Chains A and B, each alone.
Chain A
Amino acid sequence: MEKRLHPKDAGGFCVFGVFIFIWSFALISGTVMVWLLAWAIRRGEFRDLRQGARMIFDEDEPVGIVTDHFPGEQPKW
């Protein structure tokens, strides 16, 4: 019969290390996210949203062009 490791047995190693890991991870990723938001604002990401919404279109597939239809069938407008 395999002895199941009780969480407490691993506690000495885990508890402290894990909390340091989780908290530092959370702090670092939180800081990075705030920094990224500030960076994005500085970069002007939110300046012209109307134009931003159109960035998925280009000269080849402009607004007004339907880009998908069933294979082998006439595209509908």
Chain B
Amino acid sequence: MVTESSSAAAASLGALSTPEIEARVQVDRSSKQVIVLYWGAALFWLTFASIAGIITSIKLHNPGFLGGIEWLTFGRMRAVHWDTAIYGFGGVAASGTLLWLQARLCQVRMPYTKLLIAGGLVFNVGILLGVIGIFMGQSTGVETLEFPLWAMPFLVVPYVFIVIANFTMYFQKKTTHTYVSQWYLMAVTVWFPVLVLSAEACTNLGAVDGVAQAIANWWYGHNVVGLFATPTGIAAAYYLIPKVIGKPIHSYHLSLLGFWANAIFYNWAGTHHLTGGPLPAWTITLGVVGSMMMFIPVITIGINHHMTMVGSFHLLKTSPTLRFAVMGSMMYTFASFQGSLESLRSHQEITHFTHYTIGHVHLGMYGFFAPLMFAMIYYAMPRLMNREWSSARLIRIHFWCTLIGTAIYGGAMCYAGIRQGMMMNDPSVPFLNIVQFTVPYLQLRTLGGVILLAGTVAFLINFVRIVTPHKFTWASPTMLDTDRDWKDILKAEKGAEAAQ
């Protein structure tokens, strides 16, 4: 409760405005247009990808659904779903997060904002063109690189601007130390261009053939998640969890060890997707070893994220950012353990080519990566827009939909996948029986997808309201840089307690 005496204390502190605060507000404001564009576009693509995913999912238990329209056949819808999820939502949301976090941690104004806005627009046009290409049947057939080649320059060129802006901010930084999140963010901008250009060269540009092309394909397919989406998610968690609860991370030494271990080991893991394929055995063994070594960064990151939270779990009730960030970091630990174990040949005997893998991917992307992007948006948007989210209820709906939707989706797919794999290994079980067995779980998956979409819509409503101020205003903004009342009250109360 706010008492009268503390209000008086707050009034005396109310005029407090240090250069530090001014600088932070300026840094945030300088990035406003860029970040709103990137995150708005990301939410559009997330909605788009969710709808595409649901249509794809329905087709698996009702094969005739929309079957008469060639643009919406399974082969095209699935590619559209994944590519818009990874590039449209993942790529754009991660780029927005990267730029905002880097500006904040370097304490510099965002450079080249016009270039970044133009780049963001071109990037989104590129995704749109790619999607149209796939719809028209021009998919390359290389998973995760399905966009036709002519759409790729639209994706690659704007990313150069992001790389330049990122390093410009870093080399202009006013801080003396490089925070662990910054290591991840800078690594992403180095890794991603190398990944995408090399993979395109080795697959769609045809530098290599056959098995080598499959290796390049899965080297990329795995790394685009692990060296592009994941580091951004981890960077967000390393900033948000300590920042929200007001406690430095548990072990900073471990966090740096985790970063370098991730950088060294993740790159090798991709070939575990090709277990049982016509590859030299050592390439797959290399993938399995790389996957098992990932336990080192995963454990160090897990220790840091979870141990930092110890003693602060009660804040989950009151902080939307923390809810999503903690959900994301917990799911990171879970999905990473699952993924490492999944790479083992003995495990793959059962789960390879089953729904289990699909369950794992969604636990990673929608259980870990997406919530951390949501957390970032929930934390940053009020500070960028200088106004509060319009509805706490919509935030709660979004959170519970994300949690329950992911649980239903992941649970149904992983369980069905294990059963499916065991039945497929038993020659006495007719294949049709296996297909029929999976139908209820595929329906559950559609349900999970619909729940996730409902959450996204709630988020979208809140997002539209916060960027269109004239229609929806919140009576008493709470946690903004300029409206500092409650913070001062809390500080005054804490000071009084300490004095006693």
Q: Is the CB of A55 within 8 A of B201?
A: no
Given contacts A10-B206, A33-B190, A40-B178, contact A53 B249 (CB under 8 A): yes
Q: Is the CB of B249 within 8 A of A60?
A: no
Q: Is the CB of A50 within 8 A of B252?
A: yes
With a CB–CB cut-off of 8 A, which chain B residues contact A66? 244-246, 315, 319, 490
B346 sits at the interface (CB 8 A): no
Q: Is the CB of A72 within 8 A of B388?
A: yes
With a CB–CB cut-off of 8 A, which chain A residues contact B429? none
B487 sits at the interface (CB 8 A): yes
With a CB–CB cut-off of 8 A, which chain A residues contact B478? 69, 71-73, 75
Interface residues on A, range: 35 or more
CB of B448, distance to nearest CB on chain A (Å): 26
Q: Which of B207, B252, B474, B494 has the most CB of A within 10 A?
A: B207
B57 sits at the interface (CB 8 A): no
B362 sits at the interface (CB 8 A): no
Q: Is the CB of A56 within 8 A of B105?
A: yes
Q: Is the CB of A54 within 8 A of B248?
A: yes
With a CB–CB cut-off of 8 A, which chain B residues contact A50? 252
CA distance A33 to B263 in the complex (A): 11
CB of A49, distance to nearest CB on chain B (Å): 5
CA distance A55 to B101 in the complex (A): 13
A35 sits at the interface (CB 8 A): no
Binds A, one of B17-25, B92-100, B438-446: B17-25
With CB as the reference atom, state the residue of chain A lying closest to B493.
Answer: A77
CB of B370, distance to nearest CB on chain A (Å): 19
Q: Which of A5, A14, A54, A72 has the most CB of B within 10 A?
A: A72
| Residue in A32, A64, A68 whose beta carbon sits within 8 Å of that of B479 in the complex | A68
| Residue in A32, A52, A65, A70 whose beta carbon sits within 8 Å of that of B395 in the complex | A70
Given contacts A22-B201, A68-B379, A69-B319, contact A49 B190 (CB under 8 A): no
B6 sits at the interface (CB 8 A): no
With CB as the reference atom, state the residue of chain B lying closest to A56.
Answer: B243
8 A Cβ contacts from A12-58 to B: 14-15, 18-19, 21-22, 25-26, 29, 32-33, 40, 44-46, 48-58
A3 sits at the interface (CB 8 A): no
With a CB–CB cut-off of 8 A, which chain A residues contact B245? 66
With CB as the reference atom, state the residue of chain A lying closest to B2.
Answer: A74
Q: Is the CB of B474 within 8 A of A8?
A: no
B195-230 interface bits toward A, Cβ cutoff 8 Å, 1 = contact, 0 = none: 001100110011111000100000000000000000
Q: Is the CB of B207 within 8 A of A15?
A: yes
CA distance A46 to B207 in the complex (A): 41
Number of B residues near A (Cβ < 8 Å) is 64
Q: Is the CB of A71 within 8 A of B391?
A: yes
CB of B244, distance to nearest CB on chain A (Å): 5
CB of B88, distance to nearest CB on chain A (Å): 26
B337 sits at the interface (CB 8 A): no
CA distance A43 to B319 in the complex (A): 37
Q: Is the CB of A64 within 8 A of B494?
A: yes
With CB as the reference atom, state the residue of chain A lying closest to B317.
Answer: A76
CB of B491, distance to nearest CB on chain A (Å): 7
B500 sits at the interface (CB 8 A): no
CA distance A66 to B318 in the complex (A): 10
Q: Is the CB of B487 within 8 A of A56?
A: no
Q: Is the CB of A61 within 8 A of B479?
A: no
B322 sits at the interface (CB 8 A): yes
With a CB–CB cut-off of 8 A, which chain A residues contact B347? none
Q: Is the CB of B248 within 8 A of A65?
A: no
CA distance A73 to B256 in the complex (A): 37
With a CB–CB cut-off of 8 A, which chain B residues contact A77? 490, 494
With a CB–CB cut-off of 8 A, which chain A residues contact B105? 55-56
Shortest 3 CB-CB contacts between residues of A and residues of B: A7-B206, A18-B207, A53-B252
Q: Name 22 interchain pairs, CB-CB below 8 A, sorted by A.
A: A6-B206, A9-B206, A10-B205, A14-B206, A15-B208, A22-B202, A25-B197, A26-B194, A46-B256, A52-B177, A53-B242, A55-B175, A56-B105, A58-B24, A60-B487, A63-B247, A65-B487, A70-B395, A71-B389, A71-B474, A71-B478, A72-B476
Q: Residues of A with Cβ closer than 8 Å to B?
A: 5-11, 14-15, 18-19, 21-22, 25-26, 29, 32-33, 40, 44-46, 48-77
With contacts A45-B178, A61-B243, A64-B494 known, what are 6 further pairs, Cβ within 8 A?
A: A25-B194, A45-B177, A56-B239, A63-B248, A67-B244, A69-B318
Q: Residues of B with Cβ closer than 8 Å to A?
A: 1-2, 18, 20-21, 24, 105, 175-179, 190, 194, 197-198, 201-202, 205-209, 213, 239, 242-249, 252-253, 256, 314-315, 317-322, 378-379, 382, 388-392, 395-396, 474-476, 478-479, 486-487, 490-491, 494
